[in-house]
Amino acid sequence: METKNRQVRIEKTFTVFFGNFKQLCNISEKIMPQKIKKTLLTSITIFISFVMVGCPVCENNQPKGFENITHGQGPDGNLDYIIMFVAIIIVGFTLIMSIKYLIKPKEKNKDHIKNLVVNENNLTD
């Protein structure tokens, strides 16, 4: 019964992931050749199959709420949880800010370093 529940969870995860991956591949049809897509899909599938599921021994040793996430021992004390959540907040903030400044850098100063590359007259000696 436990193996069947684990298999259902894995199938749901793969359905969600590969549904989004299929949409991504349809968008990038002109950019990425079919052979590269198949190789990438195979590589991702193999990688996820090893990473997604923790072994039964590790699952029993991990605290409630963290079962079947990864191999090894989960957080032991309150300090481990604090470190983990602070790291999640830092990574999330960094991700949001990097996406924000990649989309709209808001650099309008003519002396900014990006203009050394953007302006063609700087390329000639």
**With 0-12 CB in 10 A as exposed, 13-18 as middle and 19+ as buried, what is 15?**
exposed
Instruction: Give the C-alpha separation, 71 to 61, whole Å.
Output: 10
Tell me: the pLDDT tens digits for 49-62? 666 666 777 777 77
Instruction: Give the C-alpha separation, 59 to 71, whole Å.
Output: 8
Q: Per-domain residue ranges for the chain?
A: 1-74, 75-118
- Whole-number pLDDT of residue 50: 66
Q: What is the CA radius of gyration of the chain?
A: 22
pTM of the model: 0.43
CB 37 within 8 A of CB 25: yes
Instruction: Give the C-alpha separation, 114 to 102, whole Å.
Output: 13
